[in-house]
Amino acid sequence: MTDFIEGLPKCELHLHIEGTLEPELKFELAGRNGIDLPYASVEEIRAAYSFDDLPSFLKIYYEGMDVLRTEPDFYDLAMAYLRKAASQNVRYAEIFFDPQAHTSRGVPFDIVIRGLRRALIDAESRLGIRAQLIMCFLRDFQAEYAMATLLESLPYREWIVGVGLDSDEKGNPPVKFKAVYERARQEGYLLTMHCDVDQENSTEHIRQAIEEIGVNRVDHGVNALEDPSLVEAIRERGLGLTVCPISNGYVTDSMKADAIRRMLDLGLRVTVNSDDPAYFAGYVQENLVALADALDLSREDLVQLERNAFEITWLPRHLKDAYLAELDAYAAG
Ligand code: HPA
Ligand code: ZN
């Protein structure tokens, strides 16, 4: 099955580019920027990755980004991910970035986006992997800062396909960002947001995301299964769910494999993604293998997961169809 998964044309829709910063690149960027890391080796960095919930992960995630300072740093970060993803036959990715994690420490918005954008263009021509950017707001900052970030993004509107919401969910419900999301929709952005797993008020947050914000997709969203009316709302609207099994295993009590099985059986558009692969030790290939092992997935299940993913991408219909045809050819092969 590992071989079948390797060859499978894949699509990744829940991937934080800052969460792909591997310890090796962290050292390289620290050296380039004259920053002293409080670690002596790659092994020491990895050993410090101990987290058991979302806040403990986020602390290490934000600390790690301090080495990202210049446009070439962001280019190298994105290029390293795209190379890795292409090697796993990821054909298309929608990539989150957290501009406020950089502007809040003095790195200008345009440095971040120009570096990322240049990597996407080069990766498409050199590696044949296509990608688009989703700009995430940090939900533990004020809504006014998110709005200012949205306005700052407008000169780059054509480089960003949609907006998302991430960081610490506790006490930061979707409705806090209602005005920001309304403006984002007016500007033509597509809308998604994290409804992280096993949070305080998870089901209420999913309800708000769907009914009050009107999202086009839900990131994670596993707890929707606890409320039949949410399952119905997701099905009725055809909303995709970007689930991240290995990540779930780090920040909650399990990979939530059984929940993914139920979502597949219910015909929901559930997908498998890596979230922050440098921190959770698994890219999309490893996530699919871990899930296939846990659930004894069939080839049809795996093809269905990727069909769901290509179907819910924010690509024009003809490109979706081209990727789906590639997937069908592989499944038939
Ligand atoms: N949840 C919330 N914030 C994040 C995540 C996540 O899974 N990854 C990076 N920032
Ligand atoms: Zn995430």
Q: How far is the CA of 333 from the centre of ligand 2 (A)?
A: 33
Under DSSP, the state recorded for 306 is: H
Question: Taking the domains of the chain in order of start, what are their residue ranges?
Answer: 2-332
Angle between helices 257-265 and 299-312 (to 10 degrees): 80
Structure tokens at 296: 């004894």
| pLDDT (mean) for 163-176 | 98
Residue-wise pLDDT tens digits, 172-201: 999 999 999 999 999 999 999 999 999 999
Could you tell me the sign of the dihedral formed by the alpha carbons of 316, 331, 4, 291, in that order? positive
Ligand 1 and 167: CB distance under 6 A: yes
| Model confidence, pTM | 0.98
Residue among 272, 283, 271, 275 nearest 312 (CA): 271
| pLDDT (mean) for 216-230 | 98
Residue-wise pLDDT tens digits, 129-152: 999 999 999 999 999 999 999 999
Residue 120's alpha-carbon distances to 32, 80, 131, 311, in angstroms, are 22, 11, 6, 21
Share of the chain above pLDDT 90, in %: 99
Residue among 171, 173, 220, 168 nearest 192 (CA): 220
- The order of strands in the sheet holding 10-12 is 10-12, 90-97, 130-138, 160-166, 190-191
In whole angstroms, give the CA distance from residue 219 to residue 240.
8
Give the per-residue pLDDT at 161.
99
Q: How far is the CA of 74 from the centre of ligand 2 (A)?
A: 19
State which of 12, 165, 167, 274 you would mutate to test the pocket of ligand 1, scoring each by most atoms of that ligand within 8 A of its C-beta: 167
Residue-wise pLDDT tens digits, 255-299: 999 999 999 999 999 999 999 999 999 999 999 999 999 999 999
Give the per-residue pLDDT at 65.
97
| Residues that constitute the known binding site for substrate | 276
Give the per-residue pLDDT at 22.
98
In whole angstroms, give the CA distance from residue 30 to residue 332.
47
Counting ligands in written order, the one closest to the CA of 275 is 2
The matching CATH number, chosen from 3.30.465.10, 3.40.50.920, 3.20.20.70, 3.20.20.140, for 2-332 is 3.20.20.140
Ligand 1 and 276: CB distance under 6 A: yes
